[in-house]
């Protein structure tokens, strides 16, 4: 029996569910005399956890000795964790090896960074450099035996030191393995890693995937070689669909490499004493354009979380909706927390400014609206290389403290962690879509993730060739999804995105499944969708029936699409006719009696959260625009709405209510039915 367990509502500690409201406090960046004041003020915000990194590059001295407070009292992590326990809080520990934390070299010792045996390599055999402030550095390799062995030694040392402080003997209730594992933001498909160890692992991956060289030869054609001589692609050079397979396999290998390395790290951490405590990993901003696969990473750790540093714009509201609904649907089905490992509270000085009173508030409120159930304020306490945390570096409340305190206490008041948003419609995002976007990225070596963070999709960033597949293979998938997003939002039908690699749990409860099938589809995903169709779910695919699998290899036999609705593409550009999609949406609403929660004007969005008895409890109204609006909506029942942040009360008759929503704001209201 684990000391600590997981739940969709938070963390199960001593038999009770504890909501995951946390704040980051970096002990080594604060004078030890202020630790207690900083922790007390953070607790007053309403958090239940304190999150902290344990930075390898800070604790290791230039001579190679590790200091845990023997010389520098600020490095006494044991004393810091005991202080957390004395205040009745729990701890989240994040020992890396990579932590970023705006530290030079991302918190990895300089001797490791400059060791050639630890470095990722370019196709030309050079070190892969990250042009990062305050100084660029060569990134470590997830395939390097030397780097992994050094990391295991560090993690083993931390685990041995901290294991006596695991709950119930201490405050530690969660641990993170590594950090934002997107190849250190050098995540272009042909950036890395071409170390001999990486190529050996790539060949082993192909051997396991294809089984024999004849099968590999049929898939790779002119690029085929024996397993012990096959080489990965170094540039994008495909002219046909058949030639895309090798590039998609290289993308999939990256996903497996990262997850396998994290698995090694976790094994070392647990073996050295940090057992019976759940582990997680955080998916960075723009993760959909990186080699981060939730399905693969969850083979290494117990759950994944997301980082949020969004701004209050219509484009970023849509990004929050896509990321969070996919995340929440999977977490709810697996009974795992939907947790923002880093929820922006302030920003680093070299980042774009994120005003606390607008963007940070919109960021967290919109994420909650779409299904987030817990978050870690990053940062809760200010420090060097950070601006705008709710508590300053002297342990005093700052200008944003009242907002975060009011929010945490409001969430506790309505027991928000126990509520559910129940979207009956699921839009599937396939692994093929993610891998194609990496392979067809037209701006290499600029990272695809950067474009994703800035709101650019395949329309703006990918090559437009059709490779003989009958359409612009990358952008038509986005166009298909966007067409249904617009139509569903216009009609007010709740929907969620689904990760195709974790479709089995994520499609539970779906009454309508929408799946893009441009290029190809994984037969396992197809079988899962067919299973739900047999159980009564409506299925819509498009723009055509797939003739290839998830690696774009020709299928040996046609897939059974009987009973599915096919929505084709029209026109010279990859888009779906709005009238065609609107007709399909109206048909589904009638056939399935889907719930409809409309809000006007159309630029606004509305989400509803229910309790276990499916009674509406909390309403969010989202205005991402630069103009204040009066929202019109109906709950179809008489209710009193109480704003959980400003305490204002509003009558909402069954025939419809109105609510003023300031520009770039999310209003969260308790629903009391009358």
Q: What is the pLDDT of residue 658?
A: 95
DSSP characters over 298-349: TTTSSEEEEEE---SSHHHHHHHHHHHHHHHHHHHHHT---EEEEEESSB-T
Domain boundaries, the chain: 4-417, 425-592, 599-673
Tens digit of each residue's pLDDT (9 = 90 or more) over 503-535: 999 999 999 999 999 789 999 999 999 999 999
Q: What is the pLDDT of residue 568?
A: 86
Q: What is the CATH number of domain 425-592?
A: 3.40.50
Tens digit of each residue's pLDDT (9 = 90 or more) over 89-122: 999 999 999 999 999 999 999 999 999 999 999 9
Question: Sorting pLDDT into bands at 50, 70 and 90, what band is 571?
Answer: low
Contacts of 143 (CB under 8 A, 6+ apart): 120, 193, 195, 197, 198, 201, 257, 261
Instruction: Please say if the pLDDT value at position 465 is more than 90.
Output: no
Region 285-289 average pLDDT: 89
Cα–Cα distance, 77 to 163 (Å, whole number):
12
- CATH 3.20.20.80 for domain 4-417, yes or no, is yes
Region 559-575 average pLDDT: 78
Cα–Cα distance, 552 to 543 (Å, whole number):
16
Question: Sorting pLDDT into bands at 50, 70 and 90, what band is 417?
Answer: very high
Q: For all residues of the chain together, what is the average pLDDT? A: 94
Instruction: Please say if the pLDDT value at position 614 is more than 90.
Output: yes
Q: What is the pLDDT of residue 339?
A: 98
Cα–Cα distance, 669 to 674 (Å, whole number):
15
Instruction: Please say if the pLDDT value at position 39 is more than 80.
Output: yes
How many beta carbons lie within 10 A of that of residue 475, not counting itself? 24
Q: What is the pLDDT of residue 575?
A: 56
Contact 275, 164 (CB under 8 A): no
Question: Sorting pLDDT into bands at 50, 70 and 90, what band is 500?
Answer: very high
Cα–Cα distance, 66 to 56 (Å, whole number):
9
Contact 669, 652 (CB under 8 A): no
Tens digit of each residue's pLDDT (9 = 90 or more) over 11-30: 999 999 999 999 999 999 99
Q: What is the pLDDT of residue 444?
A: 74
Q: What is the pLDDT of residue 454?
A: 73
Region 210-239 average pLDDT: 95
Cα–Cα distance, 159 to 147 (Å, whole number):
18
Q: Where is average pLDDT lowest: 422-436, 568-582, 602-616?
A: 568-582
Q: What is the pLDDT of residue 576?
A: 60
3-class DSSP assignment, residue 545: coil
Looking at domain 599-673, its CATH class is mainly beta
Instruction: Please say if the pLDDT value at position 41 is more than 90.
Output: yes
For 614-640, b/e burial (b = at least 16 CB within 10 A) is: eebbbbbbbbbbeeebebebbbeeebe
3-class DSSP assignment, residue 449: helix
Helices and strands in the chain: count of H runs, count of E runs? 19, 26
DSSP characters over 605-654: EEEEEE-TT--EEEEEEEE-SSS-EEEEE--SS-EEEEETTT--EEEE-T
Q: What is the token pair recorded at 152?
A: 């295991």
């Amino acid at each position: 029996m684990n000391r600590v367990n997981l739940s969709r509502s938070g963390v199960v500690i001593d038999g009770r569910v504890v909501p995951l409201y946390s704040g980051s406090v970096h002990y080594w960046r604060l004078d030890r005399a202020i630790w207690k004041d900083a922790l007390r003020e953070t607790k007053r915000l309403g958090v239940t956890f304190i999150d902290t990194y344990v930075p390898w590059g800070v604790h290791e001295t230039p001579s190679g000795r590790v200091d845990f407070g023997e010389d520098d009292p600020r490095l006494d992590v044991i004393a810091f964790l005991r202080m957390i326990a004395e205040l009745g809080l729990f701890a989240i520990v994040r020992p890396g090896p990579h932590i970023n934390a705006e530290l030079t070299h991302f918190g990895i010792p300089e001797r490791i960074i400059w060791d050639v045996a630890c470095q990722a390599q370019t196709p030309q055999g050079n070190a892969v450099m990250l042009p990062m402030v305050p100084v660029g550095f060569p990134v470590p390799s997830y395939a390097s035996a030397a780097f992994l062995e050094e990391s295991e030694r560090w993690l083993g040392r931390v685990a041995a030191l901290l294991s006596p402080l695991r709950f119930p003997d201490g405050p530690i209730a969660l641990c993170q393995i590594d950090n934002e594992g997107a190849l250190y933001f050098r995540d272009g498909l042909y950036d890395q890693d071409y170390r001999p160890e990486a190529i050996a692992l790539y060949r082993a991956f192909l051997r396991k995937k294809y089984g024999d060289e004849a099968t590999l030869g049929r898939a790779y054609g002119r690029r085929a070689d024996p397993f012990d001589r096959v080489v990965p692609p170094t540039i994008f050079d495909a002219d046909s669909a058949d030639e895309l397979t090798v590039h998609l396999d290289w993308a999939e290998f990256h996903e497996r490499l990262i997850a396998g390395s994290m698995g090694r790290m976790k094994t070392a951490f647990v073996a050295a004493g940090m057992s019976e405590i759940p582990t997680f990993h955080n998916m960075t901003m723009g993760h959909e354009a990186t080699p981060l696969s939730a399905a693969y990473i969850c083979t290494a750790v117990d759950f994944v979380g997301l980082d949020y540093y969004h701004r209050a714009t219509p484009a970023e509201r849509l990004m929050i909706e896509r990321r969070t609904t996919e995340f929440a649907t999977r977490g709810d089905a697996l009974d795992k927390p939907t947790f923002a490992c880093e929820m922006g509270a302030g920003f680093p000085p070299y980042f774009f400014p994120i005003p606390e009173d607008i963007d940070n508030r919109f960021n967290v409120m919109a994420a909650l609206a779409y299904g987030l159930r817990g978050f870690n304020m990053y940062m809760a306490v200010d420090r060097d290389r950070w601006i705008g945390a709710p508590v300053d570096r002297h342990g005093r409340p700052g200008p944003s403290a009242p907002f975060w305190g009011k929010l945490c206490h409001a969430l506790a008041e309505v027991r928000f962690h126990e509520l559910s948003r129940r979207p009956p419609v699921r839009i599937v995002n396939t692994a093929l879509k993610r891998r194609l976007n990496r392979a067809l990225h037209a701006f290499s070596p600029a990272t695809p993730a950067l474009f994703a963070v800035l709101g650019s999709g395949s329309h703006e960033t990918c090559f437009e060739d059709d490779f003989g597949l009958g359409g612009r293979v990358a952008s038509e998938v986005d166009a298909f999804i966007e067409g249904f997003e617009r139509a569903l939002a216009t009609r007010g039908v709740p929907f969620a995105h689904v990760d195709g690699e974790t479709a089995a749990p994520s499609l539970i409860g779906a009454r309508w499944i929408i799946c893009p099938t441009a290029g190809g589809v994984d037969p396992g995903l197809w079988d899962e969708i067919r299973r739900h169709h047999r159980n009564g779910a409506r299925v819509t695919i498009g723009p055509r029936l797939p003739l290839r699998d998830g690696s774009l290899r020709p299928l040996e036999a046609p897939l059974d699409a009987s009973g599915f609705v096919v929505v084709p593409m029209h026109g010279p550009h990859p888009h779906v006719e709005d009238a065609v999609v609107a007709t399909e949406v109206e048909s589904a609403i009638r056939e399935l009696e889907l719930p409809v929660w409309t809000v006007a004007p159309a630029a606004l969005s509305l989400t509803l959260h229910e309790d276990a008895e499916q009674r509406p409890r909390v309403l969010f109204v989202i205005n991402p625009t630069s103009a204040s609006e009066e929202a019109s909506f109906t709950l179809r029942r008489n209710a009193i709405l109480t704003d959980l942040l400003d305490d204002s009360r509003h009558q909402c008759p069954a025939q419809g209510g109105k609510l003023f929503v300031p520009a770039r704001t999310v209003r969260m209201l308790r629903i009391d039915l009358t």
